[in-house]
A and B are shown apart, each in its own frame.
Chain A
Amino acid sequence: MPAQGRLTWRLLALVLVLFVSTGGLVARLVQLQVVEHGRYAQEAFEEHYAERETYALRGSILDRNGHPLVTSTEAWDVYVSRVVWEEDSEDATESAQGLTRFIGGDPANLLSYVLTDRNGEVLTAEAIDYNLGLQIKGEKLIGVRLEESSRRVYPEGGIASPILGYLGRDRLGLTGIELLFNEVLAGRPGRTIYEQDGLRNRIALGALEVQAPEAGGNVVLTIDRGVQRAVERALDQAISERQAIGGSAIVMDPNTGEILAMASRPSVDNTALDFSADSNIVDLSRLRAISDLYEPGSPFKLITMAAALDIGAVTPEMTYYDSGAYSYSDKKIQNWDRSANGTQSMLEVLKKSLNTGAIFAAQAAGTDIFYDYLSRFGFAQPTGIDLPGEAAGLYRLPADPAWSPLDLATNSFGQGINVTPLEMLNAVAAIANGGELMRPYLIKEVHTVEGIQRTGPVVIRRVISEQTSQTLRDMMVQVVDGISEQAGIPGYRIAGKTGTSSIYSQEIQAYDDQRVIVSFVGIVPANAPRFVVLVKIDEPAGVAYGSTVAAPVFQNLAEQIVALLNVKPDEGALVQRGEE
Chain B
Amino acid sequence: MAATTEVRDEAQMIAKILAGDSQLFHELIRPYERRVYVMALSFLHNEADAEDAAQEAFLKAFRNLSSFRGEAKFGTWLVSITLNEARTRIRHRDTIKMESLDEPPDDQGHTLPALLRDWKEIPSEALERKEIRLLLQDAITALPLIYREVFQLRDIEQLSVNEAAAALGISIAAVKVRLHRARMMLQKKLAPELKQVAPKRRWAWS
Tell me whether A and B are bound partners.
no
Measuring CB to CB, which residues of chain B are less than 8 angstroms from any residue of chain A? none
Chain A contacts to B: CB under 8 angstroms: none
